[in-house]
Amino acid sequence: MPSSKTQTTRDRNLAKIFVALPLLVTIILAALRAVAGSMLGGVGLLALVYCGARMAVALRGWTPRFLRRPRATRLKREGRCIRGAALVTGCTQGLGRAFARGLVERGVPVVLVSRDQTKLEALAGDLQSEFPAASCRILAHDFAGPAGGFYGKVADVIRRDVALVVNNVGVGVDYPLTHDELDESMLENMITVNCCATAKMCRVALPLLAERGGTIVNVGSGSAAQPTPYLSHYSATKAFVEQLSRSLDREWRPRNVRVLCAAPYYVSSTGLYKARASWHAPPAQVIVDGVFATLSDARQGSFEVIRACTAHEVIGVLFTSIAEDPVLSSVCAPVARLLGASGSMVEVMAKARGRYLASSGGR
C-alpha cells in the first residue's frame, strides 16, 4: 500500500496532467493548422505557446480544491515548518492582522509590531480569546518616526526565538491619485515606511535568521509588476520591495535564509478595494493561506515573488505578459476588443479613479 503522502503526490500529478492535457491538445491542433495555413497562423501559434508557458509557470504550485488536504492537516503542517516565533509588522488591520491570526491559528508564537499600543493590546486580546493557547508579545513603534533604539529591540527579539519575519507595514493611498495630488509629507512617509523600514528590518533580521534557517516575507503589491498610473509613487515603492526581496533571496539563500515577496493585487476590505470579497479581490485570509502554503512547499526554492492566490497569478500573467508586451498586446488586441476591454492598467485605474470621484462628488 502506498503511503498517504505518496498517494497525495500521485493525485496532484494526475490532476495537473488533466489540466495540461487539453492545453497540449489545443497547441498541437493549432500547430497543424499553422503548418497548413499562413505565416500569421504560425505567429499566433508562437504567441499561444508562450502565453501557455507563462500561465503554466504562474500556476505551478496550484492544486485543485478537491485534492487539497483538510484545512486542519494543512495548518499543522504549515505551523511545523516555522521553527520558532514570528514577528509581524503593521499587524492591527488588513493583511497584517490576517497574518497574525493565521500564524496563531497554526500554533506559532507571534510578536506583534505596530504604532498604536492600544490597538496592539486589543489585537493580542482578540487572538488569545479566539485561540486560548496563543502566545502574543507586543512592541509598539511608528515606522514613519525616529527609530531611536527600536531596531536594537528588534534584534534582541529575533535573537531570542524568531524564525519568521513578516514585513507588512506600509503606507498607501485611499483612492487613485495623480502624482501632483500627493502632498510632500505623504511622498516622504511612503518612501520612509515602504522602502526604508523594510530595508532596515531585513538588515537587522538576516544575519540573526541565518543562525536557525529562518525566512523573511516582504509584502509587496501587484501594482509593481507593470506601470500603474494614479498609483505611480506607491507602485514604485513596492517595486523597490520586490527587487530587494529577489536580490536578498539569492544573496542569502546559500546561508539558509529565504526571502519571499508576497505581491497580491486587490484584497477585499483593505487599501483601495474596500468592498466585499470576489474572485479577483479575495479576503486577506486567502492571501495569507497562499503564502504559508508556499513556505511549507518543498519546492519553495523556485519561488521569489508570488501573488499568493490563483486568480491573482492569472491576472499577473495577463497584465505583465500580454497587456504590457508590445507584440502580444497587438496579437491579442482583437480578442480584448471582443470582450469589451483593452486589458490596459491605464484603463483599469482610470475607471477606478472615475468611480471614486463620482461617489465623492468630485472631491
Active site positions, annotated: 234
CA–CA gap between residue 239 and residue 237 (Å, rounded)? 5
CA–CA gap between residue 223 and residue 238 (Å, rounded)? 8
CA–CA gap between residue 163 and residue 110 (Å, rounded)? 10
Pair 120, 138: CB distance under 8 Å:
yes
Pair 296, 303: CB distance under 8 Å:
no
Q: What is the largest CA-CA distance in the chain?
A: 71
Long-range contacts of 270-275 (CB under 8 A, 24+ apart): 270/93, 270/94, 270/95, 271/94, 271/172, 272/172, 272/173, 272/174, 272/175, 272/176, 272/231, 272/352
In sequence order, what are the beta bridge partners of 107? none
Residue 102, all three cell numbers: 493565521
Q: In what order do the strands lie in the sheet with 85-89?
A: 136-140, 110-114, 85-89, 162-167, 215-219, 258-262, 305-306
In this structure, are strands 110-114 and 136-140 parallel, antiparallel, or unpaired?
A: parallel
